[in-house]
Structure 1
């Protein structure tokens, strides 16, 4: 498919997806993946993660997604909160977990659900709050809005709605 944005809608849109996402913090920096073609500004920094597959546990999914997107091996520490992303035609329930790095080498991975010419992962990096604040807020996952330090993300609990 020649238009990556159309491929995203075809692959992920017009259905409810359940996703798992990992919050990994080191030295007051959070591990994020910069996706192209996502969000209002067509770039979006978000925690690593992805969609649950039938028969796969949330933990298995998150371990697989971290390996695919970042090259890292992780373990789950604890469940944090739920975020509902609602921007039709995209709709997702996102389960956020705190994770710890157990091995691997950080690098730019790929999304196996997207074609080779439409890969959406542009960058993978640990970002500080100052680096996040320097970005356009529309290019940062909404869970990072209105926090005063990176570790505050680990204090979030409950349900959040991101609706456009």
Structure 2
């Protein structure tokens, strides 16, 4: 098993975790982050996000996570839906919010819990719905299995059942 996968397991595995995630649509494309160390193929695409720190609100955490992962400053909008991510050894309750860019410059960011040579973020880019759907289902967030268009992603509500 590679070092990134071991680090993901050590830091986030075998416990329930809260994550906040942002849906950022620009010119019909969704901002996505590619991770390694997650899933069977070592490629996993999902919207930017991460775990709040103790004493940090969900909004504050999402603003921080976006800055760390993408270099963008955001304004957090409405809570859209909740997803329960369950892929052994990972288990997370994910709160998805609409977000709007208010500043910064798009770049590939980092995960501060990982050291420089073992970063799990490998790419950050805007993707069309068709580009996302070209990946195997196990390489993209499960929300995309539930939708047939980008518009449907932004109409997901409530708790997404397994």
TM-score by length of 1: 0.94
Structure 1 residues 63, 135: closer, same or farther in 2, change over 3 A? same
The DSSP-based 3-state class of the residue aligned with 2:114 is: coil
Give, in angstroms, the shift of residue 110 of structure 1.
0.2
Give, in angstroms, the shift of residue 40 of structure 1.
2.4
Q: Which residue of 2 aligns with 1:134?
A: 134
Superposition misfits of 4+ residues, deviation over 3 angstroms: none
Deviations for 1:12-61, whole angstroms, at most 9, x for unmatched residues? 11211000000001222100001112122211000000001110000000
Gaps of 5+ in 2: none
Please give the alpha-carbon distance, in whole angstroms, between the structure 2 residues aligned to 1:123 and 1:34: 5
The DSSP-based 3-state class of the residue aligned with 1:81 is: strand
Q: Which residue of 1 aligns with 2:145?
A: 145
Q: Which residue of 2 aligns with 1:21?
A: 21
Matched-pair contact (CA < 8 Å) for 1:22–1:47: yes
Give, in angstroms, the shift of residue 127 of structure 1.
0.3
Q: Which residue of 1 aligns with 2:63?
A: 63
Count of aligned pairs between the two proteins: 161
Matched-pair contact (CA < 8 Å) for 1:21–1:97: yes
TM-score by length of 2: 0.95
Structure 1 residues 26, 86: closer, same or farther in 2, change over 3 A? same
Q: Which residue of 2 aligns with 1:104?
A: 104
Please give the alpha-carbon distance, in whole angstroms, between the structure 2 residues aligned to 1:81 and 1:134: 24
Please give the alpha-carbon distance, in whole angstroms, between the structure 2 residues aligned to 1:64 and 1:77: 15
Give, in angstroms, the shift of residue 70 of structure 1.
0.1
Give, in angstroms, the shift of residue 74 of structure 1.
0.3
Q: Which residue of 2 aligns with 1:124?
A: 124
The DSSP-based 3-state class of the residue aligned with 2:108 is: coil
Q: Which residue of 2 aligns with 1:159?
A: 159
